[in-house]
Structure 1
Amino acid sequence: MYFKIAANNVKKSFNDYAIYFLTLTFAVCIFYTFNTIGSQQEMLELSKSQAHYIKVMENAIGHISVFVSVILGGLIVYANNFLIKKRKKELGIYMILGMGKNKISKILFLETFLIGIMSLIAGLGLGIILSQGLGVITAKLFEVGISNYKFIISIKAIEKSILYFGIIFLLVMIFNTVIVSKYKLINLLNAAKKSEKLKVKKSVFSVIIFILGVVSIGVAYYLINESLLNPKDVRTFISIVLGAFGTFLFFFGLSGFIINSIQNSKKLYLKNLNIFVTRQISSKINTNFISMTVICLMLFLTISILSTGIGFNNALNQSLKESNPFDATITIHGETNPKFVLDKIGLKNTENEKCAYYTQYVVGFDYKNVLYKYTEPRIRKQFNMIECKNMDVIKISEYNKIRELKGQKPIQLNSNEVLVTSNFKVLIPAIQKLLKNENTLKINNKAYQVKNKELITDYTYNSNIPNNILTIVVSDKFTGAKESFSSYININYIGNDKQQSEKKVAQIFSKFRNYKEFKDVSFSTKEETYKQVKESTTLMIYITIYLGIIFLISSAAVLALQQLSEASDSIERYNILKKIGVSKKMINKSIFTQVLIYFSIPLILAVIHAIVGINVVNKFLELYGTNNIGTSSLIIMFVLFIIYGGYFCITYTGYKNIVK
């Protein structure tokens, strides 16, 4: 009997459960999909190291899933509380009919169980479909083939989803039992008659608080633009605190500010149902200003981490080919002689492999005095982060060997001449102006003729990012430099069988990588570098997308539930509007306006925060030559508006149905 009652209740109240069910289904779907990463290697052509990294990714996603389950648990409890609150009168009728609190708890237990089962089945079904696409995306990100494509259903991910959400639903059931045990019959029966009192703060006080919030946010924007995310700059920390506090003040004072602003425009205030809508919105913001602050910050994080994470990955991958001109590089940090390393590992110039090495020297150099006048004001802020007092120096004979290895012609230098090189994107315009306007460069108080009028921007060893802030190539007779204890050995494969050369060099590197006498020596091939970058950026993308989607649906769901709760509390007010002759069309329009504004305010402020944040991150990444995140930001915003807009539409429809 109880099961039948619970089933009928779920069926009858499906519209009320729509947001709850949608959110649960979406949450299960995302949770399952990202926890299938370990199963995807069955159909991918992965190397041993890539298979190992898939395992690392699986473990990382597993740890993130614990955090995600806590967020979703809180969201589900919040949503369930709304549903219980809406059904107080119904629960009161059960008591009048002689049903005890334990039996009512049993019905709610069964309802939660049914909703949980349905959302799990629907979520897992969608997740199984979505995870097939995730496997293809993984293959693309790792740049590997799909050797044995098959429809994968991860039993491990299903078990994990059932376990985590089973625990969450169990906690919800316990929560329902505790809540019902505290209810009194009189309160349950009168719940429908109680209309939430419209609470609006005093206008003057609210306006002052609101202005303080806006000023705090403005100061935070200024400070973060000045510090450019420099962790050593205290302004970075202050800007984060001020930004969060300013957002809190913004929503704390917003309700009174809205009332004050609209009341000052009598034409707008007295038009249609604007008086009613203004009071409704202001009251709800006044009640939920803390949750709206959290939602705004969560939306800001969602937009920011998704845009910067995906954008950074795209930019880094684009720059990899340029920053890795050699097939392999050996880096020596210490006094070890490069020739000794080559002899020890048995790597020589052959028909299939060619080697060239150089030792890096340094000289004292004042970057600011030389380049300051040629840099733009915004670049000067970024350049302050680079605490460089020395400039790298390479001898021309070794530099020419590197050029020869890349198939370039050698360059002749006189003893009084130098070449200027740099691939540090943020400084290239300034250095180019320097070369155009000045013929000499002072090093150790001696003037040297700059031979090249066009900046040389090539790489002298493999790297993940631009590695040459400013390097001067000098003649072999130059004596003003001191060793920096850094040397580089570059290797290129020139034979017909490059795969064999790659295998040979990789085996040599593997053999000597852990030798004690080579503790200051690192070995890496271009292919290894590509794989390492692909692996780390793939993990970063998955984590940002995973958290971003969870933050987004949590934020939208809370806003939706708050508005539906508002609808339940405001039924009497809408009944009064109907009695005084307000048309259905006007009521629906007022509902649309109210829901739209309520959804828009935290999103608009979050977008403004994100624009400032992404711009600062863009400038920060520009230091390393990777700042192409504009396109990804637009794509993320488009996807965000689709999901967020979907919740808005469902909320608007649900609100209208409740008012009916």
Structure 2
Amino acid sequence: MIGKLALGNVRRSLRDYAIYFVTIALGVAVFYAFNTIDQQSQFLSESTSDTLQLVSTIMTALTYMLAVVLGFLMVYANNFLIRRRREEFGLYQVLGMERRQVSAIMLVETLVASLGAFAVGIALGLLLSQFLVFVSAALFNDTVKQFKFIFSPEALLTVTVCFAITFLVMLLFNLRTVRSVRLVELMSSGRENESQRLRPLPLCIVLLAVSVGLIVWAYVRLTHDGLPVMLDSDSEMTRFWITTAIVTVGTFGLFWSLPTVLIAVQRHIPALYLRDLHMFTDRQIASRVNSASVTMAVTAMVLFLAMTSVSAGMSISSGINAGLETSAPFDTSASFYYYDAPVSADVSEQNWAQGWTAAGQDPEDGLSNATSDTEARIARATEPVDLKALLASQGVDWDALASGVAQANVYSQVGGSTAQYGATAPASSEPLSVARFVPYAKDAATAAVLGSTADENYLPVVPLSSYNALRELLGMEPMTLAGDEYLLTSNVGDKVTKDLYDPALADGLAFQLNGVTLRPAQSTCVTDKSAAFLNSATGWNTGSVVVPDELVRGLPLANSYLAAMAKPGQEQALEDAVSHAWPDDDKRAGYENGYLVGFVSQIVGHTDAVAGSFTMTGLVGYMAVYIGFVLVVSCASILAIQQLSGVVDSRHRCKLLSDLGAPSRLIGRSILAQVLFYFCAPLVVALCHSAVALKQVIDVVAVLTAVDILGTVWLAFAIFGVVYGGYLLVCYGLSWSTIARDIRLARR
């Protein structure tokens, strides 16, 4: 009997269960699809498969975290369903049912609706997972091979466990709610009056002005400071968190004060306030927002987080992948690090610690990075190490594997430390540092992306012969320089090259090197693939200066980069040979006259760079979309449930309006206006926050890649619009059908 009654209730209450059903189905579908990523790897290449296995592990852990969020959402949804049907449950008790029997009905109803939503969600997830195979292939620039329908028992088990835990928690809350409410409360729920008290107008006006001011102030701070890209900078992070706190307080204050101010403004426009049902609509909106101002503020902030994270994640992924052609142009590459000036020529193991401490570096790190040969003495190189010969001594057969090999030697403008960050006196009174370009920048915050120590960020120097050797290896025409000219190269994004470097070069920015004043040979920075001295997943050359060969004499060596192109069909063999050339650290070292001068610090083949890029973009892209989708669905569901709950509370007022002669179309417009305001107010605030934040995100991504990511941002927003707008339409349809049904019943 209880089962039959529960099934009948579910059939009659399909509209009430719609939001609950859709949310469960979407959540299960997305959970299942994203947990089949490991199964997708069987249709893709080995390198992509390894990446997907790592992504799958993280997705599984993330699923359990997001399941907790969805669980709380479902508890909230069921609270609405209970509230919607409290009179019905009270009637059951009046007819003689015990509370445990009413609880049993609720249990069966919830179970049937949940299992139905779960089954639909799994079906949708199966379809989505097949499509996701091709999405993964496109994301990793791979090709699907021997595709067949996939089903993942592991993904089904993961989703089932999450769903079961969510259902049990939800059920316990629901049964507790039903058993704790008194019969008189159940029977009188439809006649309870909703408080419509407005907050003090003077207080709301002041708070609204303060809140808008705080939000604008946060926008100005973020625009000026940019994002804290230098994560090791405590000051940047502190300012960022202060800005976040300011905009959060402003958002909460905005929603707390806005309804009362809007009502007051409309009252002073009688032609608008007294027209149709505007008075009723405004009071309903104000009452609803007053009681849910915290929810709307939280929704706005979560939507802001979701839109920003997904847009940023998708943009970074597409930008990095698109930049691989210029960031990893060689079949294989290696870098060699030279020890610098503070380490004297006669430092041995006994006084190693003293020498490295004087250099401001950790002696343990210096020893472990250098060599395990404790008898070696340390010196600064006077000539570049021949990396081709060093690799040949370890078994690399260049003649059999390579069609061309080139070595680029990089020097420091300063008397010590490294090519990137100078810590001692420069070699001239006018060295070229990032700080020299800042006055020319279109956006001064651009320099912050390159480091908080722009005044010490001296650009490394490359002799023209080394640079042309790389260009010849890549099949490019050599460059020429007069004795007093220089070129600037960089393979990072337009934010650095076009907004920072090019204006200075066009103005003829000069610097002095070894007594010679050098001026730009051309007005723009060289940004083609010859600017990459070493394969990398992203552009890493933030700026290198090419000068005539004679001007590097006497400068300390910083790095040497070896680049090689393979003979046809030998690409993987060459990459493997170079990667396995050193069995231990001793063989990675370079010597000069018996003194240790440096060591091979990095070996990056083209396949390694691509795999590193895809691993990064896969993790960022999938996590951003996964988290963002769940957050948007959660926000839209909460708003829809609260709006439907409000409609249930106010349906008697709508019936009264109908009894007084108000046309149904005006009542329908009133319901539409309430739903639109309730959904659009948080969305508009979130869009304003996102517009300012994404401008900073675009600037940061522009440092990593020259790809325009604006199209990706619009795509992410369009996807969100479809999901969010779908919930809005469902919410309005359910709200109006509930009111229309009550009106029809009253008129019979």
**Class of the TM-score when normalised by the shorter of the 2 chains:** over 0.9
Shift of 1:154: 1.3
Please list the CA deviations of residues 358-406 of structure 1 after superposition, one character each: whole Å capped at 9, or x if unmatched. Answer: 2211114354664344322456665784523212111233223222212
| Partner-residue secondary structure (3-state), 1:553 | helix
Distance in 2 (alpha carbons) for counterparts of 1:6 and 1:513: 71
> Aligned pair in 2 of structure 1 residues 605, 70: CA closer, same or farther (>3 Å)?
same
Contact 2:463 2:552 in 1 (8 A): no
User: Which position in structure 2 is the counterpart of 1:539?
Assistant: 619
User: Which position in structure 2 is the counterpart of 1:426?
Assistant: 495
Q: Give the alignment's TM-score, normalised by structure 2.
A: 0.83
Distance in 2 (alpha carbons) for counterparts of 1:53 and 1:466: 21
> Aligned pair in 2 of structure 1 residues 449, 164: CA closer, same or farther (>3 Å)?
closer
Shift of 1:284: 0.9
Please list the CA deviations of residues 194-217 of structure 1 after superposition, one character each: whole Å capped at 9, or x if unmatched. Answer: 132213211121121122111111
Residue 241 of structure 2 corresponds to residue 237 of structure 1: yes
Alignment of 1:108-147 (within 5 A): 108-147=106-145
Shift of 1:520: 4.9
Letter in 1 for 2:406: A
Residue 412 of structure 2 corresponds to residue 362 of structure 1: yes
Shift of 1:41: 2.2
Of residues 133, 142, 146 in structure 2, which corresponds to 1:148? 146
Distance in 2 (alpha carbons) for counterparts of 1:142 and 1:101: 57
User: Which position in structure 1 is the counterpart of 2:542?
Assistant: 469
| Partner-residue secondary structure (3-state), 2:161 | helix
Which deviates more from structure 2 when the two are superposed, residues 294-303 or residues 472-481? 472-481
> Aligned pair in 2 of structure 1 residues 466, 508: CA closer, same or farther (>3 Å)?
closer
Of residues 492, 496, 513 in structure 2, which corresponds to 1:443? 513
Distance in 2 (alpha carbons) for counterparts of 1:22 and 1:303: 21
User: Which position in structure 1 is the counterpart of 2:303?
Assistant: 299
> Aligned pair in 2 of structure 1 residues 461, 75: CA closer, same or farther (>3 Å)?
same
Shift of 1:483: 2.8
Shift of 1:451: 4.1
User: Which position in structure 2 is the counterpart of 1:350?
Assistant: 399
Distance in 2 (alpha carbons) for counterparts of 1:538 and 1:445: 49
User: Which position in structure 1 is the counterpart of 2:355?
Assistant: none
| Partner-residue secondary structure (3-state), 2:612 | helix
Residue 213 of structure 2 corresponds to residue 215 of structure 1: yes
Of residues 572, 575, 583 in structure 2, which corresponds to 1:502? 572
| Partner-residue secondary structure (3-state), 2:462 | strand
Shift of 1:639: 1.8
> Aligned pair in 2 of structure 1 residues 514, 216: CA closer, same or farther (>3 Å)?
farther
> Aligned pair in 2 of structure 1 residues 179, 437: CA closer, same or farther (>3 Å)?
closer
User: Which position in structure 1 is the counterpart of 2:34?
Assistant: 34
Distance in 1 (alpha carbons) for counterparts of 2:688 and 2:408: 49
User: Which position in structure 2 is the counterpart of 1:51?
Assistant: 49
Distance in 2 (alpha carbons) for counterparts of 1:627 and 1:223: 27
CA RMSD of aligned residues (A): 2.3
Distance in 2 (alpha carbons) for counterparts of 1:250 and 1:141: 40
Distance in 2 (alpha carbons) for counterparts of 1:507 and 1:575: 82
Shift of 1:332: 2.2
| Partner-residue secondary structure (3-state), 1:107 | helix
User: Which position in structure 1 is the counterpart of 2:720?
Assistant: 640
Contact 2:322 2:707 in 1 (8 A): no
Distance in 1 (alpha carbons) for counterparts of 2:584 and 2:265: 70
> Aligned pair in 2 of structure 1 residues 462, 169: CA closer, same or farther (>3 Å)?
same
Distance in 1 (alpha carbons) for counterparts of 2:273 and 2:613: 57
User: Which position in structure 1 is the counterpart of 2:672?
Assistant: 592
> Aligned pair in 2 of structure 1 residues 501, 56: CA closer, same or farther (>3 Å)?
closer
Alignment of 1:514-529 (within 5 A): 515=585, 517-518=587-588, 520-529=600-609
| Partner-residue secondary structure (3-state), 1:41 | helix
Structure 1 residue runs without a partner (length 5+) = none
> Aligned pair in 2 of structure 1 residues 584, 454: CA closer, same or farther (>3 Å)?
closer
Contact 1:332 1:338 in 2 (8 A): no
Shift of 1:624: 2.6
Alignment of 1:142-181 (within 5 A): 142-181=140-179
Distance in 2 (alpha carbons) for counterparts of 1:607 and 1:453: 39
Contact 2:410 2:462 in 1 (8 A): yes
Contact 2:330 2:565 in 1 (8 A): yes
Contact 1:563 1:651 in 2 (8 A): yes
> Aligned pair in 2 of structure 1 residues 347, 651: CA closer, same or farther (>3 Å)?
same
| Partner-residue secondary structure (3-state), 2:16 | helix
Distance in 1 (alpha carbons) for counterparts of 2:584 and 2:197: 69
Q: Give the alignment's TM-score, normalised by structure 1.
A: 0.94
Which deviates more from structure 2 when the two are superposed, residues 416-425 or residues 246-255? 416-425
| Partner-residue secondary structure (3-state), 1:81 | helix
> Aligned pair in 2 of structure 1 residues 261, 444: CA closer, same or farther (>3 Å)?
farther
Contact 1:400 1:411 in 2 (8 A): yes
| Partner-residue secondary structure (3-state), 1:487 | strand
| Partner-residue secondary structure (3-state), 2:512 | strand
Distance in 2 (alpha carbons) for counterparts of 1:261 and 1:253: 13
User: Which position in structure 1 is the counterpart of 2:561?
Assistant: 488
> Aligned pair in 2 of structure 1 residues 544, 435: CA closer, same or farther (>3 Å)?
closer
Distance in 1 (alpha carbons) for counterparts of 2:543 and 2:636: 49
| Partner-residue secondary structure (3-state), 1:271 | coil
Shift of 1:474: 2.7
Higher fraction of helix:
1
| Partner-residue secondary structure (3-state), 1:359 | strand
Residue 52 of structure 2 corresponds to residue 70 of structure 1: no
> Aligned pair in 2 of structure 1 residues 271, 484: CA closer, same or farther (>3 Å)?
farther
Residue 425 of structure 2 corresponds to residue 375 of structure 1: no
Shift of 1:504: 3.5
Please list the CA deviations of residues 578-611 of structure 1 after superposition, one character each: whole Å capped at 9, or x if unmatched. Answer: 1221111111111111111111100111111111
Which deviates more from structure 2 when the two are superposed, residues 577-586 or residues 260-269? 260-269
> Aligned pair in 2 of structure 1 residues 94, 60: CA closer, same or farther (>3 Å)?
same
Which deviates more from structure 2 when the two are superposed, residues 121-130 or residues 336-345? 336-345
Alignment of 1:276-315 (within 5 A): 276-315=280-319
> Aligned pair in 2 of structure 1 residues 576, 433: CA closer, same or farther (>3 Å)?
closer
Please list the CA deviations of residues 605-630 of structure 1 after superposition, one character each: whole Å capped at 9, or x if unmatched. Answer: 11111111111111122223356221
Please list the CA deviations of residues 21-55 of structure 1 after superposition, one character each: whole Å capped at 9, or x if unmatched. Answer: 1111111111111111122223x1321x4333222
Shift of 1:329: 1.1
Contact 2:672 2:732 in 1 (8 A): yes
Shift of 1:478: 2.4
Shift of 1:437: 3.9
Shift of 1:253: 1.1
Letter in 2 for 1:488: Y
User: Which position in structure 1 is the counterpart of 2:687?
Assistant: 607
Identity %: 27
| Partner-residue secondary structure (3-state), 2:561 | strand
Shift of 1:355: 1.5
User: Which position in structure 2 is the counterpart of 1:101?
Assistant: 99
Shift of 1:181: 1.8
Contact 1:382 1:620 in 2 (8 A): no
Distance in 1 (alpha carbons) for counterparts of 2:509 and 2:199: 68
Please list the CA deviations of residues 475-503 of structure 1 after superposition, one character each: whole Å capped at 9, or x if unmatched. Answer: 3332576435322111112x3x2x32422
Contact 2:461 2:552 in 1 (8 A): no
> Aligned pair in 2 of structure 1 residues 78, 444: CA closer, same or farther (>3 Å)?
farther
Distance in 2 (alpha carbons) for counterparts of 1:655 and 1:59: 41
Distance in 1 (alpha carbons) for counterparts of 2:503 and 2:692: 30
Contact 2:506 2:523 in 1 (8 A): yes
| Partner-residue secondary structure (3-state), 2:545 | strand
Alignment of 1:408-427 (within 5 A): 408-411=476-479, 416-424=484-492, 425-427=494-496
| Partner-residue secondary structure (3-state), 1:639 | helix
| Partner-residue secondary structure (3-state), 1:478 | helix
Distance in 1 (alpha carbons) for counterparts of 2:449 and 2:161: 51
> Aligned pair in 2 of structure 1 residues 371, 5: CA closer, same or farther (>3 Å)?
same
